[in-house]
Every structure is written in C-alpha cells, then in structure tokens.
Structure 1
Amino acid sequence: MRSVAARALALVRASHPEPSVVVTAVAVGLAVSTGRDGAGVVAVAVAVLSGQLSVGWLNDVLDADRDRLAGRIDKPAVTRTVSRRALAVATIVATLVCVPASFASGPAAGAVHVLAVASAWTYNLGLKSTPLSVLPYALSFGLLPTFVVLGLPGAPAPPWWLPAVGALLGAGAHFTNVLPDLAADAATGIRGLPHRLGSVGSRTAAAVLLLAASVVLAVTAPVVPLVAIGVPVVAAAVLAAGLARGRRDGSRAAFRAVLVVALLDLAFLLTAGHTMVA
C-alpha cells in the first residue's frame, strides 16, 4: 500500500499540480459565474482538469532525459519514483477522459477545448524550443473561457475581452514559468522566446502582459468602480513582489505570483456574473 501511495503521489507531482489546480479553479469559477448548471460545471471541471493533467504528464514524458541532464531532482521521472511508461499511460488515460468530457458541453464548446489542449501539446512537442513558444500559451488560455461560455444554452459567443484576457494571462504565465529554468534550458538546447529575450526581457514582458490583462478587465468588464480600480492595483503589487523574489536562482515566486493574479482576475470576473454573456 505504501508503494502504491508513493507512486500515486509521484504522478500528482509530475502533473504540474499548481497550474493544473488553478486553471481548473478559474474555469469552474467562470462556469458558475456565467450560469452553467450543476452538470455543466462538473463537465467543465472534468474536461479542464483532465486536459491539464494530460499536458503536464506529456511534458514530463518528453523531457525526462533533458531533466535528468539538468539535474532536476524535483521531477519524479528523474528520481525514478515513477516511470516514463507510467507517465505515458497516464497521459493517454487523461486524454481519453478529456475528449468526451469536453464534448459534454456541446459540439462547439468541445471542439474549442480539444483545440486548446492540442495547442498546449504542440508546446511540449517542439514549439517550446522556437521563437513561437508563447503562441500555444496565448491560444490555449484564450480558448479556455470561450469553451466555458460556448457550453451555455444556445452556445453564445463570449464578449471579445474575455478570450483576450485569457490570452494575455497565458502569455504572461509563459514568460514567468520559464524564468527559474533559463540556465538549465539553455544547457539542454531549449531556445524559446523567453530564452532569447533573457531574464530582464522576460520579466518585463511578463509584467506588461499580466498587468494588461487586469487593465483590460478593469476597463471592459461590467463591475463596480471599486473593484475595477482595486484589482489592477493589487495585481501590480503581487507581481512586483513575485518578480522581485523570483530573482533568486530556481525561485518559482514569480510563477506563483502569476497564479495569484489569475485568481484575482477570476474573482474580478465573478463579480460580473451573467452580464458577461450576451
């Protein structure tokens, strides 16, 4: 039993649990806010979580050798607490769950979410090492709220600013996510856009993109003025603290600040409720 529990914990660690949980929470919160019924909220939760798990596990399957060379002892595949084969099987199972769960929200919504997950897979499959590395993040996170809203009766289109905010958050998350690994990535041949911009350029890009997301929400979302003013101010303070602490080698403070900003923006969206849907 102890061995089974250890393998299960290793699978959880290999799934990139922090972003998986936060992205799922954001999607579920948006589903509740826009009026999805109980079954619809469950469908969103299962689809998004399984999609996130498939992306995280695929990443560790493909990067196992590279992570070993970089000395990433935080990776279960490197310490051999879980095998690459087990991660590959888990990726397949998560994908087999994700597809029907996505289409439970309707054909249009399902197609959009499958496209979002496929976009994230393209990052793992090679785009992470090109100047186009930010595109899968922007596309996948832009499509996520579109999936949630399209699952409502009548498949209404979301307001333009909703996928725009998602894309800005996703792009900003990309730049902060790779900050702790810039040196290790460079040593193993990864040359995505953040690596080409360098640490200072990536921090600047992340701050601009994430603050832009909060400002777009403040200007366009139908919320009370106090919320519209307060969220960007708090987001700026969180980002400043995270980026400052993230200067230390290996620190993930900047990425955790992004997750906090994403939750702040979710709280922002929850105050808008049904008014987001035409």
Structure 2
Amino acid sequence: MDATDRVGTAGPTAPESTPPAPRVTVVGPAKAGLRGRLLGLALACHPAPALAVTALACALAVGARLDGPRAALVTAAVLTGQLSVGWCNDAYDARRDARAGRRGKPASDGTVRAGAVWAAAGIALALCVPLSLACGALAGAVHLAAVAVAWLYNLRLKATVLSWLPYVTGFGLLPAAVTLTLPGQPWPRWWTVTAGALLGLAAHLADTLPDIAADRAAGISGLPHRLGSAGTRRLLPLPLLAATAVLAFGPPGPVGAWGGAALVPAGAAAVAGPACGRRWRKAALGGAVAAAAVDVALLVLRGSAQV
C-alpha cells in the first residue's frame, strides 16, 4: 500500500517511523533574561586577568607605602582600565569567535549583545580617565598609556608577531603608575620595571598557551601561535625565572633570606607548569600564576616599588 492509500477524513497519516520535529533552543539575549545577560557581561570582561592585574597594582601600592585613600584610588583606576580592556577584547573578537565556534564567549554566543559589551567598555574607560588623573597628572598619563597599549593589542597587535609588546609595555609601566602617585612623584627602580616587563611577557605566553589551536582557527597569529604549543612551553619558564632573579639580585645590598628562598618555589613553579602542560592544558598558566605570586610577595615584603 502506498502513501495515497492511507488518506482518511483527517488527512494523510504520517508513517510511524517519522521522527518528531526537533525542538529549537533559542540562545541569545532574549532567552537569557536580565540575570543571564548581566552574568554574561560580567564574564565578558575576562574577570580572572582583570582581577589579577588589579591585585598586582594593589600589592605594588602596599609595597610603595601608599596611604589607604591613595592605594584605593590606584586600585580603582587599574580595575576600571582592566574592565575596559577585557570588554573591548570580547566585543572586538565576537564575530571571529562565532565563526570559529568558540565556547565561553558571551559576546559571540549570543548571551549578551556585542553592542552592550562595547558600551560597557566605553563606560569603564570613561571612568578610568578621571580616576587615573586623580592619582596625579604624570601617574595618570602613565597608566592611561598602559591602558592604551592594551586596547592596541585588542584592536591590532593581537594577531601579529608584536603581540607580546603591549604586555611587556603595560606591565612595565604599572610600577611607575603606582610610585608616581607618591608625594614627589618618584620613578620606580629599574629592577621593578624590568621584573614587571618580564612578568608581562610570561603572562602573554601563559594566557595564550591553552588556546593556541582555537586562536589559530579564528585567524589569530601572534607570537605564541607562531612558536606553537611546544615552543611556547619551552620559552615560558625563561621570563618567569628572569623576573624572580631580577627581584632577588637587583636591589642593592645582600640578597637576603627572602630573596634566596623565593628562587626555589618560583623556579619550581616556572619549570613544572610548562612541563606538565602536555597532560594538563592549563598547567603552564597555573605555574606562571604561582611563580608570579612569589614575585609579588617579594615586592610587598621589600617595598621594592618605592624609590
């Protein structure tokens, strides 16, 4: 019996083997609701790096012996700058991330509209300017220069061989943004700036390493992508170890117990993280964070951000 023989008063009867129509799940701002959009906006700012850099600035302020209000002002300026950078990054990469099918990107998966993320970036940047300048004209200019190079990374340098430059510049300028807030506007010592720049290079390598394959699929070709996963893992321990060595041996006078003791855990974390990277995707990042934590502790304990 063919299909024309199965027609009744109610119309054609579908065969029993016909599967039910698939349910369509709507993903986007309309489906997410206000709470989901707010959560997506919070995640789009890259909260982990933003909070890490803000914590570093706060630690530098403590090490520089800033008083409470000045330390809070520096911390607020750095936080708003980092929020603007994170939101700019997600909004600018939204279309590219969507084409590559990258997950965990609220601006590309429809959780929050890219326009809303751009607006958040603009508001954070607008707040960052007066907060930075309230720290002093020179200190504010230095911090805003660091924020500017971070935006330049998002908009241009991220996909080039110079992808490392904004990280090195931004982290290197951060100690100056802190010490220039002090009365007399002193510049930081050379070993503080050098260690910051080295930590910036390490942060770029460690942060990019877990996503090299996905970034390549999205058309990004920065320095770590050109080195490849293996090359980046081999290079990563070098700036981490160099930063610790600079902080331990750079200040005048004897190294001291704290400097010598810091070399052991920082060195172990710097080497072990990348070595375990083949089996644990984010091991290198974990090792870099641990080594950087030791360096920050050195800065705080020795007050090395102050001239």
**TM-score range relative to shorter protein:** over 0.9
Query: CA offsets, 1:144-196, max 9 Å, x none?
Result: 11100111001001101111111000011111111112112222221111111
**Displacement after TM superposition at 1:267 (Å):** 0.8
**In 2: Cα distance, 1:162 partner to 1:93 partner:** 31
* The one of 23, 45, 54 aligned to 2:84: 54
* The one of 70, 74, 82 aligned to 1:40: 70
- Which deviates more from structure 2 when the two are superposed, residues 84-93 or residues 238-247? 238-247
- Which deviates more from structure 2 when the two are superposed, residues 206-215 or residues 224-233? 224-233
The letter of the residue matching 1:247 is R
Give yes or no for the alignment of 1:261 onto 2:291. yes
- Which deviates more from structure 2 when the two are superposed, residues 34-43 or residues 111-120? 34-43
Structure 2 partner of 1:217: 247
**In 2: Cα distance, 1:15 partner to 1:189 partner:** 21
- Which deviates more from structure 2 when the two are superposed, residues 189-198 or residues 113-122? 189-198
* The one of 254, 275, 279 aligned to 1:244: 275
Go from structure 1 to structure 2 and tell me whether the alpha carbon gap of 1:276 and 1:57 turns closer, same or farther (over 3 Å shift): closer
When you count helix as a share of all residues, which structure comes out higher? 1
Identity %: 49
Structure 2 partner of 1:193: 223
Gaps of 5+ in 1: none
> Counterparts in 2 of 1:93-108, with a 5 A limit?
93-108=123-138
**Displacement after TM superposition at 1:248 (Å):** 4.1
* The one of 11, 34, 41 aligned to 1:4: 34
| Corresponding pairs, count | 275
1:164 alignment partner, SS class: helix
Query: CA offsets, 1:235-259, max 9 Å, x none?
Result: 122223322333248x233223322
Contact 1:22 1:259 in 2 (8 A): no
**In 1: Cα distance, 2:89 partner to 2:305 partner:** 34
Structure 2 partner of 1:67: 97
- Which deviates more from structure 2 when the two are superposed, residues 163-172 or residues 64-73? 64-73
Structure 1 partner of 2:9: none
- Which deviates more from structure 2 when the two are superposed, residues 96-105 or residues 215-224? 215-224
Structure 1 partner of 2:121: 91
Let me know the Cα RMSD of the aligned residues: 1.8
Larger Rg: 2
Query: CA offsets, 1:187-241, max 9 Å, x none?
Result: 2221111111122221222110111001100102368622111222111222233
Structure 2 partner of 1:272: 302
> Counterparts in 2 of 1:147-162, with a 5 A limit?
147-162=177-192
Using structure 2 for the length normalisation, give the TM-score.
0.85
**In 1: Cα distance, 2:126 partner to 2:71 partner:** 19
- Which deviates more from structure 2 when the two are superposed, residues 236-245 or residues 175-184? 236-245
**Displacement after TM superposition at 1:16 (Å):** 1.0
- Which deviates more from structure 2 when the two are superposed, residues 232-241 or residues 149-158? 232-241
Contact 2:266 2:292 in 1 (8 A): no
Give yes or no for the alignment of 1:178 onto 2:208. yes
Contact 1:61 1:88 in 2 (8 A): yes
Give yes or no for the alignment of 1:227 onto 2:258. yes
